[in-house]
Amino acid sequence: MDASTIPELVDAAAERFGDREAVVDGDTRWSFAEYRNEIHGIAAALLRRGIRPGDRIAVWAPNSARWAAAALGIHCAGGVLVPLNTRLAGSDVAALLDRTSTRLLFTVTDFRDSDFVAMLASVGDQRVEETIVMSGPVPEGCTGWDALAADMSQSRTQPASVDPNDLCHILFTSGTTGSPKGAMLRHEAVCRSYSSWSTAIGLREGDRYLAVNPFFHTFGLNGGILACLITGATLVPLAVFDVPAVLTCVAAESITVLPGPPTIYRSILDHPDGLNADTSTLRLAATGAAPVPAELVRGMRDRLGFTTVVTGYGLTEASGVTTTCHHDDPPKLAATGSGRALPGTEVRVVDPEGIPVPATETGEVVIRGYNIMAGYLDDDAGTAAAVDNEGWLHTGDIGRLDEAGNLSITDRLTDMFISGGFNVYPAEVEAVLRLNPDVGEVVVVGVPDSRLGEVGMAFVVPASNVSTNPDAIRNWARVELANHMAPRHVEVIDSLPTNPGGKVSRSRLREIGAETLTT
């Protein structure tokens, strides 16, 4: 597809795929033509509200057809989408709305018994001009979806003109210190990246794509919503990952494509009720974000029925995807690497001086090409630290390239680890654990986990004259932290190991953690 902006993708998909089913969400079933009309209606309603090109509009909600339509409507109005993590607290969202100068917010009041509008109200006025409630009761002062729909039907404004180099998303990622950074992405970069990615993995017209990856994440947003527009696949959003719900949907909707981190496949294979549903329609699995063991790939093929399993590697700062396996690669490649660089991008593995190392040797992974972000929002220093003067994005990941250019990630320069597909930054977890009066010192590292890839292990030195109970610390953390951040293991120790320079040796703690779990 030659479209270089997201509005062009919307129009091209309607022209090419017309009456084919574009989105299925409960009773909602839109053809590509109807999808385009819904998107254009939202764009017109936004333009009638005075939205101008470059204005920021946030979506804070679980996956749904309305999420996808609202996001694409924002783009067609010339706005910049700010997707917000549904796991964030109200105070965190309030801060991000303020930082991005967000004008409008799309959200919900009925997600997992949470009212996001009330969560924001509890931390004070958030300065957005209007809050649009996509589902759930509509609080006073907010606009309901039905009211927006009525406005959409009366709006006849043409979509805004969008340039390929215009910003389309501000996606927040955390640095190693836990300070959120807003990666600014461009229309052409994401359109080109996911057109190449879709071709490489073999996503095709008529596929039925179950979107369990959250739309607030670059993979769910670009590798889901946009990839389906590019290829003519049917998007089937799922609000919450739940094994029975997934299996029911696979059977009911004849799902052919089920992307996600390795943990979702492990959860399905290990579910205590077994695989009672028909998964014979499954064809393609696209995974990554954590190591993919060979035995998991075998289970995905033999028990779930996937004929193609591909892996990939990417960062939000590189539009979400940089390397990928191809659908016609040898099957074993998915369990040994993350594939090759997208056309038009470069991937190198370099030593500490920035000099490329020979094939099969390890070093830092750096990336250059059209897919690199425009920069971090209001953070020139952070941008300069991430992207050097020659345009290379320094990922902080350690890897190696084979002779054919296939990348394998072997470690991280940073302390971040990935649990169930979500980044976990030890500094954030440690800051919370230190609030516990029984904790003197604490260091958190990632340790292997068969289901989630990695989980946190906290090494705690008790506060003076305190007898610290590991179970009590673990249970306390589960209350204070998001599920993926709360350490699964707590070890109470007398002192933290240090290197000759006096710094805590995280590598030694990882070794101790791995040894502890195998004894």
Report the share of the chain in percent with pLDDT over 70: 94
Q: How confident is the model at residue 174 (pLDDT cuts 50, 70, 90)?
A: low
Q: How far apart are CA 231 and CA 199, in angstroms?
A: 9
Spatial CB neighbours of 50, under 8 Å, sequence gap ≥ 6: none
Mean pLDDT of 163-192: 86
pLDDT of res. 88: 87
pLDDT of res. 175: 43
Q: Are 310 and 285 in contact (CB under 8 A)?
A: yes
Q: Quick check: 422 pLDDT over 90?
A: no
pLDDT of res. 156: 58
Mean pLDDT of 203-232: 96
The pair of structure tokens assigned to 76 is: 């067609």
Spatial CB neighbours of 111, under 8 Å, sequence gap ≥ 6: 61, 62, 86, 136, 239
Which amino acid is located at 200 in the chain? A
Q: pLDDT tens across 224-235, in order?
A: 999 999 999 999
Q: How confident is the model at residue 506 (pLDDT cuts 50, 70, 90)?
A: confident
Distance of CA 436 to CAs 320, 330, 499, Å?
A: 36, 50, 27
Q: How far apart are CA 407 and CA 3, in angstroms?
A: 29
Of 53-62, 167-176, 508-517, the range with the highest mean pLDDT is: 53-62
CA-closest candidate to residue 440, choices 476, 482, 493, 480: 493
Q: How far apart are CA 57 and CA 105, in angstroms?
A: 6
Q: Are 394 and 388 in contact (CB under 8 A)?
A: yes
| Residue position matching structure tokens 């990630």 | 409
pLDDT of res. 501: 44
Kind of pairing between the strands at 130-135 and 208-211: unpaired
Long-range CB contact pairs, 17-22, < 8 A, 24+ = 17/205, 17/232, 20/205, 20/206, 20/232, 20/234, 21/234, 22/228, 22/229, 22/234, 22/235
Q: Quick check: 500 pLDDT over 50?
A: no
Q: pLDDT tens across 331-351, in order?
A: 888 888 899 999 999 999 999
CA-closest candidate to residue 244, choices 262, 227, 225, 267: 267
Which amino acid is located at 67 in the chain? W
Q: How confident is the model at residue 503 (pLDDT cuts 50, 70, 90)?
A: low
Q: How far apart are CA 314 and CA 329, in angstroms?
A: 19
Among 92-101, 113-122, 263-272, the range scoring the smallest mean pLDDT is: 263-272
Mean pLDDT of 395-424: 86
Q: How confident is the model at residue 70 (pLDDT cuts 50, 70, 90)?
A: very high
DSSP-derived secondary structure for 427-461:
HHHHHHHTTSTTEEEEEEEEEEETTTEEEEEEEEE
DSSP single-letter state for residue 424: E
Q: How far apart are CA 216 and CA 232, in angstroms?
A: 22
Cα 159–160–165 angle (5° rounding)? Answer: 130
Predicted structure pTM score:
0.83
Q: pLDDT tens across 302-332, in order?
A: 999 999 999 999 999 999 999 999 999 998 8
Mean pLDDT of 219-247: 96
pLDDT of res. 499: 55
Q: Quick check: 157 pLDDT over 90?
A: no
Which amino acid is located at 267 in the chain? S
| Residue position matching structure tokens 């749904």 | 64
Q: Are 324 and 219 in contact (CB under 8 A)?
A: no
Q: How far apart are CA 61 and CA 43, in angstroms?
A: 19
Q: How confident is the model at residue 290 (pLDDT cuts 50, 70, 90)?
A: low
DSSP-derived secondary structure for 252-296:
HHT--B----HHHHHHHHT-TT---S--TT--EEEEESS---HHH
Mean pLDDT of 125-132: 88
Q: pLDDT tens across 42-56, in order?
A: 999 999 999 999 999
CA-closest candidate to residue 39, choices 12, 2, 5, 77: 77
Mean pLDDT of 101-108: 98
Strand (E) positions, 320-438?
A: 323-324, 340-341, 345-350, 363-369, 375-376, 393-401, 407-412, 417-419, 422-424
DSSP single-letter state for residue 106: E
Distance of CA 400 to CAs 33, 288, 349, 405, Å?
A: 45, 16, 6, 9
Spatial CB neighbours of 405, under 8 Å, sequence gap ≥ 6: 340, 341, 347
176-211 b/e with 16+ CB inside 10 Å = b? eeeebbbbbbbbbbbbbbbbbbbbbbbbbeebbbbb
Domains and CATH numbers, the chain: 6-240 (3.40.50.980), 417-518 (3.30.300.30)
